[in-house]
Amino acid sequence: MSVNYDFTDKVVIITGSSSGIGAGIAQLFAKSGANVVVTGRNADRVAKVAKQCTDMSPKQLTALEVVGDLTKQQDCDRLIQTTVQTFGKLDILVNNAGFGNRADVTEEDYYQKFQNLMQTNLNSVVYLTHKSVEHLAKTNGNIINISSIAAKITSSGQSPYHISKAALDMFTKCMAAELGPKHHIRVNSVNPGFIVTNIFADMGIPKAVADNFFRTVGCKYPVGRPGQPQDIAQTVAYLASNSEAGFITGSIVVADGGHLTANVSIDQELEDLINKMENF
């Protein structure tokens, strides 16, 4: 049975929403009646997703487009300010923007890679949360951070990514404990497993290779398939709903198709994919 959420009159920022999981989240909120803020670095992609959200909106509400780089504080400030100036408030902040990279600790540029990744995956979340509190406190709003099962496992050559997500989970818990009593703001995290997105296409990997990777991983999952952006969007919508999840805060909600429970290992598949990436 499909669950229909009602976010009428709610204002939602979804970072990194110009593609993938973020786009799926934005589209579901739009379908559910929210005023959606689509943001990312690529103006064409932002415009495309914003139009999709507007078309999906029951009242044809125009999605707000904000192009920016969240590693820059002035762009984060502009995102919050533009949202509040346009809609008069902020109800939900979904911190979705993030990326991964391969970084062996022995590489000469390891620390630079580490800093770059942390700037997006963690620092931007901390800053946006800091700047959003005054607005979310007025609406009894809530924050959902998109983390990863990488927060709970390890893999060779991916330490910056794993560290960033583990830190994000702890930040989620700290903010839930701090912002609940003082400001009535709930804060939760969603930790996806492997989700079918265009991430590998953006790296120049042919679609056939990426599709085979996701298919192979999905066959190992207890649910028998890899995740789709809609799977994570549904989880986010549930947590964002005060009527459905008003008693949930500080939770790290795993949505991974059973990856962790079944102790799924995909080390070989990742290594094969990395080797193929290096050849393209």
Which residue ranges make up each domain of the chain? 11-199+228-261
Mean per-residue pLDDT for 218-242? 97
**What does the pLDDT read at residue 274?**
67
Q: Which residue has the higher pLDDT, 207 or 79?
A: 79
Residue 2 has pLDDT above 70, yes or no: no
Q: Cβ of 6: how many Cβ atoms within 10 Å?
A: 12
**What does the pLDDT read at residue 170?**
98
Cα 218 off chain centre by: 20
**What does the pLDDT read at residue 74?**
98
Q: Residue 175: beta bridge partners?
A: none
**What does the pLDDT read at residue 34?**
98
DSSP letter for 42, please. -
Q: Looking at 176-180, 211-215, 235-239, which range is the least confident one? A: 211-215
Residue 111 has pLDDT above 50, yes or no: yes
Is 161 a residue of the active site? Answer: yes
Q: Which of 170, 242, 167, 226 is nearest to 20 (CA)?
A: 226
Q: Residue 14: beta bridge partners?
A: 38, 94
* pLDDT tens-place string over residues 131-187: 999 999 999 999 999 999 999 999 888 999 999 999 999 999 999 999 999 999 999
Residue 203 has pLDDT above 70, yes or no: no
HSE-up (13 A, CA, CB side) for residue 184: 9
What distance in Å separates the CA atoms of residue 177 and residue 236, rounded to the nearest whole number? 20
pLDDT band at residue 1 under the 50/70/90 scheme: very low
* pLDDT tens-place string over residues 34-87: 999 999 999 999 999 999 999 999 999 999 999 999 999 999 999 999 999 999
Residue 276 has pLDDT above 70, yes or no: no
Instruction: Write out the E strands in the chain.
Output: 11-14, 35-40, 64-67, 92-95, 142-146, 186-192, 252-255
Q: Residue 188: beta bridge partners?
A: 144
Among the listed residues 5, 111, 127, 161, the single catalytic one is 161
**What does the pLDDT read at residue 252?**
98
Residue type, 9: D
Residue 279 has pLDDT above 70, yes or no: no
User: What CA–CA distances, in Å, run from 135 to 41, 92, 175?
Assistant: 24, 10, 15
Mean per-residue pLDDT for 247-258? 98
Instruction: Write out the E strands in 132-242.
Output: 142-146, 186-192
- What average pLDDT is seen over the chain? 94
CATH class of this structure's domain 11-199+228-261: alpha beta
Mean per-residue pLDDT for 105-129? 97
Edge-to-edge strands of the sheet including 252-255? Answer: 64-67, 35-40, 11-14, 92-95, 142-146, 186-192, 252-255
Residue 267 has pLDDT above 70, yes or no: yes
